[in-house]
């Protein structure tokens, strides 16, 4: 690709024969490397080292690009005030760096003296990751240069390739993943010592994710492609994955703790392995630490959780109409709400939870996945990250079925939506008759289920983009928690300019149906241009160095 990648491609790539969860330590040259299965396996380790786990775009620990998570300052993507990068950008660079790693393995592995089946097994890992990163490119940029070969010569024409149509890139992703699904070991055949390496399940899971994304994106953005063909890919892959021995972990709360780690948890499909647990010298992160001092959840997300009667906030008689406490919004709800955010006085980051005091962001502080033992190990946390879990397969299957057929049976709802609810102890079932009787919209309820199940798991931004609702949910005020003087040590005078009045308005704009709601970001500071903002801008450096082959995305 561009100059920065030439430096990577023409340099010696270091690989290690160490365990998967350790970084490369020893460099080899091609003269002595690529001779055995051990060599190829060690080379594949680099792809796991490079894999993002808890970190999202630009290496943030929690994805605040949507209306879900807010930080201590506005996110430029969410607020609509980002600029076109003048130089090479990490969002672009890091993806291509990882694609180059996969292509290098696919090229060099051919020199190893391996039986075809053994070679295919390790090449399948490279094909998996190549598809994983090409899909990420499409989500961000739409059409993007597709790279399918290792490049070592700076004069290679591929270095200056133009943008490949997104449909062509996606079809290549399917092809790579279908190869991977054929040759990777199944979940049951992967040795426990290899835990964290991709399996047939991971490849099928990526097809589920890509097919649903591209099918719905094509449909709602009117791309003109056969959106149903993509949805069928997702449906077929989900049905194949259902035969691989996966299931839901028994406890939603502890799913995100050490208890949910490892091959014995049937919900794990594709995982970024950190650790070993408690070993601060290995692969680590700061996910729990940033829950305290960097991010919180918006009231918009809290309001999406259903009430115990299965009805949304705007319809349920269980809603507390005039809230007088921070906790009122959490009462009579889907149990996952109290598993996701802290209630008053709960053991939290440093002591009993106090709104606006022992947390940051002035929204609803995140409880889901928080571990005090991890928080204590600042920048040395080791709990694993589930990149794809079986719950996503189930809810994606439900959504793809509905989008494909225009309907979904109660039987399929029980296998998917209601299975997720039951696991969390939420007994209200979603059925076709319930939707009709309460004048609900089935696809909205399936989307709601996906949103509340996966809060702070990095899916919300992609979802609002593919559903084409970002233009509705982003250029609005982002509301935080309710302020009650007696429940916090924070002074009202310090927050008064951001609190709603008795009518739920602030600066003359209606933002809530409750008084004293803290408004984190004002609507007049947030924009979203639907003719521009559904795609990322391509860095100017990439355009300038492409010899005229790459054009900027529309309206950037």
Residue 444 lies in a domain: yes
- In a 10 Å sphere around its CB, with 0-12 CB exposed, 13-18 middle and 19+ buried, how is residue 504 labelled? middle
Residues 6+ apart with CB under 8 A from 4: 88, 93
Task: Look at residue 277 in the predicted model and tell me its pLDDT.
Answer: 83
Q: Beta-strand (E) ranges in 218-312?
A: 268-272, 295-297
The CATH number of residue 227's host domain is 1.25.40.390
Name the residue among 435, 396, 434 with its Cα closest to residue 415: 396
CA–CA distance, 227 with 231 (Å, rounded to integer):
6
pLDDT for 19 equals 44
Residue 165 lies in a domain: no
Contacts for 86 with CB less than 8 Å, ≥ 6 apart: 539, 540, 541
CA angle 17–18–20, rounded 5-degree value: 110
Total domains in the fold of the chain: 1
Structural domain contains residue 498: no
Kindly list the averaged pLDDT for each block of 10 residues, start to end, along the chain of length 556: 44 40 45 89 96 82 95 94 88 94 96 95 98 98 96 78 96 98 98 96 98 98 95 98 98 97 97 84 84 92 98 98 98 98 91 84 92 83 95 98 98 98 98 98 98 98 98 98 95 95 96 97 97 97 90 96
- Asked, for residue 289, whether it belongs to a domain, the answer is no
- pLDDT tens digits, one per residue of 434-455: 999 999 999 999 999 999 999 9
pLDDT of residue 3: 44
> How far is CA 388 from each of CA 139, 334, 454, rounded to the nearest angstrom?
17, 23, 11
Structure confidence at residue 31 (pLDDT):
67
Cis peptide before 191 (omega within 30 of 0): no
CA distances from 403 to 174, 447, 448 (A): 20, 11, 15
d(CA 128, CA 178): 9
**Tell me, what DSSP letter sits at residue 268?**
E
* Full domain range(s) for residue 409: 185-273+384-466
Nearest to 328 by CA among 295, 356, 361, 303: 303
92 part of a folded domain:
no
pLDDT at 6: 44
Give the per-residue pLDDT at 207: 99
DSSP helix/strand/coil, 19: coil
Cβ partners under 8 Å of residue 136, min gap 6: 95
For residue 423, tell me if it sits in a domain: yes
Whose CA is closest to 397, among 381, 387, 412, 386?
412
Whether residue 336 lies inside any domain: the answer is no
CA–CA distance, 20 with 467 (Å, rounded to integer): 37
pLDDT at residue number 158: 78
pTM score: 0.94
Cα separation, 401 vs 194, whole angstroms: 34
| Residue at 238 is within a domain | yes
Give me the pLDDT at residue 152, please. 80
pLDDT score, position 128: 98
Distance CA 5, CA 415 (A): 46
Q: What is the tens place of the pLDDT at every residue in 35-47?
A: 999 999 999 999 9
């Amino acid at each position: 690709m561009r100059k920065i990648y030439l430096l990577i491609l023409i340099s010696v790539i270091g690989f290690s024969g160490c365990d998967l969860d350790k970084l490369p330590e020893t460099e080899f040259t091609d003269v002595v490397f690529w001779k055995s299965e051990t060599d190829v396996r060690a080379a594949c380790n680099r792809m796991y080292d490079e894999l993002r786990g808890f970190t999202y775009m630009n290496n943030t620990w929690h994805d605040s690009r949507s209306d879900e998570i807010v930080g201590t300052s506005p996110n430029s993507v969410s607020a609509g005030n980002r600029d076109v990068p003048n130089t090479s950008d990490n969002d672009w660079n890091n993806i291509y760096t990882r694609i180059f790693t996969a292509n290098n393995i696919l090229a060099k592995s051919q020199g190893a003296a391996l039986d075809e089946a053994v070679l295919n097994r390790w090449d399948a890992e490279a094909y998996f990751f190549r598809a994983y990163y090409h899909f990420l490119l499409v989500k961000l940029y739409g059409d993007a240069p597709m790279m399918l070969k290792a490049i070592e010569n700076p004069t290679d024409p591929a270095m200056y390739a133009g943008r490949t149509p997104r449909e062509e890139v996606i079809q290549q992703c399917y092809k790579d993943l279908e190869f991977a699904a054929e040759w990777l070991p199944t979940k049951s055949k992967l040795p426990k010592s290899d835990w964290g390496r991709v399996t047939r399940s991971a490849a099928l899971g990526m097809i589920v994710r890509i097919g649903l994304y591209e099918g719905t994106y094509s449909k709602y953005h009117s791309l003109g492609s056969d959106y149903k063909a993509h949805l069928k890919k997702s449906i077929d892959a989900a049905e194949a994955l259902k035969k691989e021995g996966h299931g839901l972990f028994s406890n939603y709360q502890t799913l995100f703790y050490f208890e949910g780690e490892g091959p014995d948890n049937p919900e794990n499909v594709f995982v970024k392995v950190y650790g070993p647990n408690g070993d601060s010298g290995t692969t680590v992160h700061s996910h729990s630490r940033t829950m305290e001092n960097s991010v919180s959840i918006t009231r918009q997300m809290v309001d999406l959780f259903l009430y115990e009667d299965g009805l949304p906030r705007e319809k349920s008689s269980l809603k507390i109409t005039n809230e007088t406490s921070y906790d009122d919004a959490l009462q009579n709800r889907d149990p996952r709400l109290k598993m996701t955010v802290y209630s008053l006085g709960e053991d939290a980051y440093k002591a009993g939870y106090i709104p606006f005091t022992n947390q940051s962001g002035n929204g609803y502080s995140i409880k889901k996945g928080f571990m005090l033992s991890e928080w204590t190990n600042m920048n040395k946390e080791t709990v694993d990250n589930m990149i794809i879990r079986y719950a996503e397969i189930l809810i994606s299957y439900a959504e793809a079925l509905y989008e494909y057929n225009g309907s979904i049976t109660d039987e399929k709802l029980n296998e998917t939506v209601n299975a997720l609810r039951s696991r969390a102890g939420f007994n209200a079932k979603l059925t076709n008759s319930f939707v009709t009787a309460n004048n609900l919209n089935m696809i909205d309820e399936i989307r709601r289920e996906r949103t509340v199940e996966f809060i702070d798991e990095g899916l919300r931004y992609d979802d609002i983009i593919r559903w084409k609702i970002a233009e509705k949910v982003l250029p609005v005020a982002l509301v935080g928690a309710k302020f009650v003087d007696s429940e916090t040590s924070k002074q009202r005078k310090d927050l008064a300019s951001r609190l709603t009045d008795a009518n739920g308005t602030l600066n003359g704009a209606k933002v809530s149906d409750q008084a004293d709601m803290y408004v984190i970001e004002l609507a007049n500071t947030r924009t979203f241009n639907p003719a521009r903002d559904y795609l990322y801008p391509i860095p100017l450096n990439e355009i300038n160095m492409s010899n005229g082959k790459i054009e900027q995305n529309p309206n950037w």
